[in-house]
A and B are shown apart, each in its own frame.
Chain A
């Protein structure tokens, strides 16, 4: 599709600014940090080379494994629940005339709030004394009396729920952008042939928004790797590591436990994982997927 110019270096001029600024701010500092994975640096004092000791310890670390498992779970949750709801709502939104503005604002509102604020709201709502907890207790539903953020069976899901609650409105906007690109003649033609709502969605909308849809899935997979804010503020990874995720684990080691070397080893593994995932997407693209 190189129809614009025979001189392909022109294409590069367009990409250089973004690569430059990103390398400068994130790329190079990250590589410097990752280099520390073979040391036992505490974050302040002398730097000693320790070989692969950090990695050996990591592969033996049950909480690190737990955190990885939670990240995978988190990714699966986000790939299904918010995506389905957002697709449905965006599609329904394109089919109504009145109240467009209202719905968009309503759906998107949680996304506009800072994570600190959202967490504050839900912590308040689930507070055992003055939130819904007290209410449920007073009407006799003991199971909901204690906060889901502090119950080890539910803490991960509760944190994922709040993050998802804040995130799905964003997906709606993304999908809407794509859906408005769909040519209305296609729908009109389908209407004439008597297609159902779902059929139109399946055979017209979805194929037409495929690039943006695949993109959203990829971005969810990638964003699920460094997930931090909501877990950190709502549960701190607890109780008893029941909601620990990899980025929070890295944070604790780097900033609370004075184990910068170990944290860098965690970072390195995250890095390898993401390259692997992105590689898969790259492969799909090579195989002719338009993504």
Chain B
């Protein structure tokens, strides 16, 4: 059903172009992967190709040097919390901006858009002082609040631009049945929007997983540090030990890659069987 916008024979040139771009995206990362299983001594001689001898020891080395188990759970906690909080506030706002059009919604839209463009370097200092006053430094809750605020404007707009396309008739019908606004939100808007919920969740989760500026500043206790900060300090500590750095980077992306693949499967099936068609 999905493919009906092209005839079958057109699929071959499609594949050709897509493969070209896929290679551009993936080949550099393949080099990273090769580097992660290469013995350190081989780097000068064979920079780009696959290793002549596979050295998996880089992974346990990086695991131990980076205290991977601990930082993995710290990061997972942050991602989970931020996705939950951020999605909650963004869904409400996105729904309102898309379907309820409150008076003055333009002001809110402008405010949020301007908010996206403010560089973190500008407000990180006062924010730090505020967080100190509230005893939120060195806590995951503190970071979760920051991450939710950072990602909320984008998520709100993404959700809004999806919900605006949902047919108004559905809402009108529910309204006639006597449902109030909150019921309409939970019973109609939410179930119909879950592709965009997944997309937004994925993007928020990634941003949190990879974030290091705020994590470095707001978490000084090594027991609470998330993954990206470890990678950052890894590069400083093992400056040109590409093998170890690459192994750490691969381990950082692996959980996300697995999660993304799981997401995608449900994403596609959800779309094809979803209630979007009349």
Write the residues of chain A forming the contact surface with B, with a CB cutoff of 8 angstroms.
1-5, 8-15, 17-19, 21-22, 24-30, 32-34, 43, 85, 88-89, 92-117, 120-122, 124-125, 127, 129-132, 134-135, 165, 169-170, 173-174, 177-178, 180-181, 183-184, 187-188, 190-191, 197, 200, 204, 211-212, 215, 218-219, 222-223, 225-226, 228, 247, 250-251, 254-255, 260, 263-264, 267, 270-271, 274-275, 278-279, 281-282, 285-286, 290-291
Contact status B116-A222, CB under 8 Å: yes
Contact status A270-B249, CB under 8 Å: no
- Taking CB atoms, residues of chain B closer than 8 Å to A181 are 162, 165, 276
- Taking CB atoms, residues of chain B closer than 8 Å to A285 are 106
Is B119 positioned at the interface, with any CB of A under 8 Å from its CB?
A: yes
Is B96 positioned at the interface, with any CB of A under 8 Å from its CB?
A: yes
- Taking CB atoms, residues of chain B closer than 8 Å to A120 are 32, 235, 245-246, 249
**Nearest 7 pairs of A and B residues by beta carbon:** A11-B102, A14-B96, A25-B149, A187-B5, A95-B6, A11-B100, A114-B210
Is B81 positioned at the interface, with any CB of A under 8 Å from its CB?
A: no
Contact status A18-B93, CB under 8 Å: yes
Describe B's contact surface by its main secondary structure. Answer: helix
A13 → chain B closest CB, angstroms: 8
- The 17 listed contacts between A and B (C-beta, < 8 Å) are A14-B93, A14-B185, A18-B153, A22-B153, A24-B149, A25-B149, A26-B127, A95-B14, A97-B11, A114-B210, A116-B212, A117-B249, A134-B47, A181-B276, A212-B161, A255-B121, A275-B114
Known contacts A4-B175, A108-B260, A177-B162; is-contact A25 B3 (Cβ 8 Å): no
Instruction: Pick the residue among B126, B150, B162, B256 that contacts A112 (CB under 8 A).
Output: B256
A26 → chain B closest CB, angstroms: 5
Is B76 positioned at the interface, with any CB of A under 8 Å from its CB?
A: no
B50-58, B59-67, B261-269 - the one binding chain A: B261-269
- Taking CB atoms, residues of chain A closer than 8 Å to B264 are 101, 104-105
Interface residues of B in 98-157 (CB under 8 A from A): 99-103, 105-106, 108-127, 130, 145-146, 148-150, 152-154, 156-157
Query: Given the complex of chains A and B, what is the CA–CA distance between A118 and B152 in angstroms?
Result: 25
Contact status A117-B253, CB under 8 Å: yes
Query: Given the complex of chains A and B, what is the CA–CA distance between A180 and B89 in angstroms?
Result: 25
Known: A3-B168, A211-B165. 16 other contacts (CB 8 A): A10-B100, A10-B181, A18-B152, A22-B111, A27-B111, A92-B18, A95-B14, A96-B11, A107-B25, A114-B253, A120-B245, A121-B28, A131-B48, A165-B24, A226-B117, A275-B110
Query: Given the complex of chains A and B, what is the CA–CA distance between A135 and B49 in angstroms?
Result: 12
Known contacts A11-B100, A22-B112, A95-B5; is-contact A4 B25 (Cβ 8 Å): no
Query: Given the complex of chains A and B, what is the CA–CA distance between A279 and B113 in angstroms?
Result: 10
Instruction: Pick the residue among B4, B21, B95 that contacts A85 (CB under 8 A).
Output: B21
A216 → chain B closest CB, angstroms: 9
Contact status B115-A22, CB under 8 Å: yes
Known contacts A107-B25, A174-B199, A197-B10; is-contact A96 B18 (Cβ 8 Å): yes
Query: Given the complex of chains A and B, what is the CA–CA distance between A93 and B11 in angstroms?
Result: 9
Instruction: Pick the residue among A103, A112, A191 that contacts B260 (CB under 8 A).
Output: A112
Interface residues of B in 5-30 (CB under 8 A from A): 5-7, 10-11, 14-15, 17-18, 21-22, 24-26, 28-29
Write the residues of chain B forming the contact surface with A, with a CB cutoff of 8 angstroms.
1-7, 10-11, 14-15, 17-18, 21-22, 24-26, 28-29, 31-32, 35, 43-44, 47-48, 88-90, 92-93, 95-97, 99-103, 105-106, 108-127, 130, 145-146, 148-150, 152-154, 156-158, 161-162, 164-165, 168, 171-172, 175, 181, 184-185, 195-196, 199, 202-203, 206, 209-210, 212, 228, 231-232, 235, 242, 245-246, 249, 252-253, 256-257, 260-261, 264-265, 268, 271, 276-277
Interface centre among A111, A114, A169, by most chain B C-beta atoms within 10 angstroms, is A114
Known contacts A22-B112, A275-B110; is-contact A15 B18 (Cβ 8 Å): no
Contact status B29-A113, CB under 8 Å: yes
- Taking CB atoms, residues of chain A closer than 8 Å to B102 are 8-9, 11-12, 14-15
- Taking CB atoms, residues of chain A closer than 8 Å to B108 are 15, 19
- Taking CB atoms, residues of chain B closer than 8 Å to A103 are 18, 22
- Taking CB atoms, residues of chain B closer than 8 Å to A101 are 261, 264-265, 268
Known contacts A108-B260, A120-B245; is-contact A33 B149 (Cβ 8 Å): no
- Taking CB atoms, residues of chain B closer than 8 Å to A267 are 118-119, 122
- Taking CB atoms, residues of chain B closer than 8 Å to A5 are 100, 181
A84 → chain B closest CB, angstroms: 12
Contact status A130-B93, CB under 8 Å: no
In the complex, residue of chain A having the shortest beta-carbon distance to the beta carbon of B205: A112
B27 → chain A closest CB, angstroms: 10
Contact status A94-B210, CB under 8 Å: no
Contact status B126-A1, CB under 8 Å: no
